[in-house]
């Protein structure tokens, strides 16, 4: 549990006093160094797997992939009263702590663009909500009944994928949580270790590579088990053969926006390692310092720092799966951050009979898209605790990894599908796709149906040209349909003037558009049997 009633009054005085003295804030920089050189030599900033994944999915490598200027970081650390806790290359920012005056003084540095205080009253207006233990529901054990994971796996038809030998092999998953105690020694993860699929990770809270130490509870261990756990004839996760990076970003002993920054750091690390999927069974809405609190109206997909980070992760070609939250039976009601992000998959909870679980957070008019997106079993879910016991717990923290593992198996089955296609196939397979609501979203996915939808879509694409990215900045790639080896490409400006004409082949299918002015063009590509014309945007 995050806090207990055993704390005495004297202990509480410390954070109360510190709130008056110290603030958390994000400091955003004006620029980065060596941007063009880094982008032109991406292996200097990304792993080869990350580069390959982005290339295959048509994801541009851009300035956000370039690290924060270390000289700027050093100078910030040297300023009076400032402590640096986290950094983000995607936002080109640091998470700092200090007094309001010391943080405000950073604005005088020429490379500081702006400062965003976690206490929004120092920027705009204040707001406050009561603090609640985020793991309160999930730490409440249900009466144990010995059994296996049959219901929670079959509910989403992940078992059909397993029967076809799609168990997540070759798919890389990053898990962000509160720690993963004993995963390196437990029998429940022996298969994972024996297959070389436990890839390590990092503890961003304590700044150590040891993510297996006990850090207050075994939440992360339980979450991982629903994807990667395996006990012969007793327990099977939904992706037992996927590969996993584990990142601790949550400090259960406090609730501070710094944890949002740790999460973004971990997502950036995951992206640079080339992961395909992110699972997060965490959510943020209220903090120890009420001045930092969000309101339900701010769960709008663009306010919270972690939500904006999750959106960038999705833009970078990662399928991001987030638990919707456990506020469905509280005054808060709605999903928390980052589950409110439009382009992530937010997962609600149902019980074994596929009935809405009353604790599962709901969608609202604040979200720009339907939330939750989909649901899976989250009541009386089977998990493996860090003592190797198979137990049952409640929470969307467990419906999310069940779904993540299922998606990992689907991605193995559809290696040519883009991340956004995978997300759409899963949503379209939902039990109430045509009639979504704020309780179940698009319903319970059928992953066999998602596979069938995907195969149909991809088969159609094999009969047509595909061009990406669009909008394009520099290099445009043309994916040829099956059986076509050569074509003629022509580009016309808005006045109908032809500005480019060249032959291309299946092996010379990348066109440099850097010399063209920004704007809208018509691109025509024609082979002996197929012709396609599209609107191309040059950014």
Nearest to 271 by CA among 470, 51, 86: 51
Question: Is the Cβ–Cβ distance between 454 and 414 less than 8 Å?
Answer: yes
3 state SS of 12: helix
Which residue shows structure tokens 């920012």? Answer: 93
| Given the residues 24, 57, 119, 177, the one annotated as active site | 177
Q: Which helix (H) or strand (E) holds 399?
A: helix 396-413
| Percentages of the chain per state (helix, strand, coil), in multiples of 5 | 30, 25, 45
Q: DSSP letters of 318-333?
A: -EEEEE--S-TTSSS-
340 is catalytic: no
- Cβ(167)–Cβ(241) below 8 Å: yes
Q: What are 489's strand-pairing partners?
A: 502, 525
Q: Is 177 noted as a catalytic residue in this protein?
A: yes
How many Å apart are CA 361 and CA 349, to the nearest integer?
8
Q: Give the CA distances from residue 41 to residues 65, 70, 273, in Å, rounded to whole numbers and listed in that order.
A: 12, 19, 16
Cβ(188)–Cβ(249) under 8 Å? no
CB 95 within 8 A of CB 292: no
* Phi, psi dihedral angles at 535 (to 5 degrees): -85, 125
Strand order in the sheet with 519-526: 498-505, 486-492, 519-526, 531-538
Contacts of 424 (CB under 8 A, 6+ apart): none
Angstrom distance (rounded) from CA 220 to CA 397: 9
Residues 175/269, Cβ–Cβ less than 8 Å: no
Looking at 219, 271, 323, 429, which residue is catalytic?
219
CA nearest neighbour of 443 among 395, 376, 351 = 376
Residue in the block written with tokens 């909008």: 471
H or E segment and range at residue 203: strand 198-203
Q: Is 162 a catalytic residue?
A: no
Of 215, 227, 286, nearest to 257 by C-alpha is 286
Q: Which of 404, 171, 129, 51 is nearest to 287 (CA)?
A: 129
81, 343, 424 from 17: Cα distances, Å:
16, 39, 49
Catalytic pick from 281, 360, 397, 409? 397
Residue whose pair of structure tokens reads 């996993």 in the numeric block: 244
Active site residues: 177, 219, 397
């Amino acid at each position: 549990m995050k806090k207990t009633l055993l704390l005495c009054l004297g202990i509480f005085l410390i954070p109360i006093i510190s709130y008056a003295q110290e603030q958390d804030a994000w400091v955003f920089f004006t620029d980065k160094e060596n941007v063009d050189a880094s982008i032109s030599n991406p292996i200097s900033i990304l792993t080869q797997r990350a580069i390959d994944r982005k290339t295959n999915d048509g994801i541009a490598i851009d300035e956000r992939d370039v690290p924060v200027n270390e000289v700027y970081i050093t100078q910030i650390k040297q300023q009076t009263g400032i402590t640096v806790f986290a950094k983000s290359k995607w936002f080109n920012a640091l998470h700092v702590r200090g007094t309001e005056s010391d943080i405000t003084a950073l604005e005088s540095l020429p490379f500081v663009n702006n400062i965003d205080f976690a206490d929004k009253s120092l920027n705009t207006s204040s707001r406050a909500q009561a603090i609640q233990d985020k793991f309160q529901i999930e730490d409440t054990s249900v009466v144990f009944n010995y059994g296996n994971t049959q219901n929670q796996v079959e509910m989403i038809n992940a078992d059909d994928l397993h029967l076809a030998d799609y168990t997540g092999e070759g798919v890389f998953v990053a898990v962000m949580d509160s720690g993963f105690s004993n995963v390196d020694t437990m029998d429940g993860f022996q298969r994972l270790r024996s297959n070389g699929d436990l890839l390590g990770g990092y503890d961003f809270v304590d700044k150590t590579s040891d993510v297996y130490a006990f850090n207050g509870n075994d939440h992360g261990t339980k979450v991982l088990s629903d994807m990667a756990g395996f006990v012969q004839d007793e327990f099977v996760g939904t992706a037992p053969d996927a590969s996993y990076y584990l990142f601790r970003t949550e400090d259960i002993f406090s609730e501070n926006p710094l944890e949002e920054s740790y999460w973004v750091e971990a997502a950036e690390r995951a992206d640079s390692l080339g992961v395909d999927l992110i699972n997060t069974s965490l959510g943020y809405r209220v903090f120890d310092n009420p001045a930092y609190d969000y309101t339900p109206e701010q769960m709008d997909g663009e306010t919270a720092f972690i939500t904006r980070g999750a959106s960038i992760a999705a833009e970078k070609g990662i399928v991001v799966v987030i638990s919707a939250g456990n506020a469905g039976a509280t005054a808060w009601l709605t999903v928390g951050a980052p589950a409110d992000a439009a382009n992530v998959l937010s997962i609600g909870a149902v019980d074994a009979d596929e009935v809405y679980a009353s604790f599962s957070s709901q969608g609202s008019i604040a979200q720009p898209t339907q939330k939750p997106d989909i649901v899976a079993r989250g009541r009386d879910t089977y998990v493996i605790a860090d003592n190797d016991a198979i137990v049952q717990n409640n929470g969307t923290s467990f419906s999310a990894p069940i779904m993540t593992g299922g998606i990992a198996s689907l991605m193995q089955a559809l290696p040519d599908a883009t991340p956004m296609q995978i997300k759409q196939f899963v949503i379209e397979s939902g039990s109430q796709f045509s009639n979504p609501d704020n309780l179940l979203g698009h319903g319970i996915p059928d992953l066999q149906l998602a596979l069938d939808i995907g195969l149909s879509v991809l088969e159609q694409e094999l009969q047509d040209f595909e061009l990406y990215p669009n909008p394009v900045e520099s290099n445009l790639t043309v994916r040829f349909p099956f059986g076509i080896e050569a074509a003629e490409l022509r580009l016309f400006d808005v006045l109908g003037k032809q500005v480019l004409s060249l032959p291309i082949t299946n092996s010379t299918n990348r066109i440099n558009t850097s010399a063209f002015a920004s704007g809208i063009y018509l691109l025509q590509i024609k082979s002996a049997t197929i012709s396609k014309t599209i609107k191309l945007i040059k950014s």
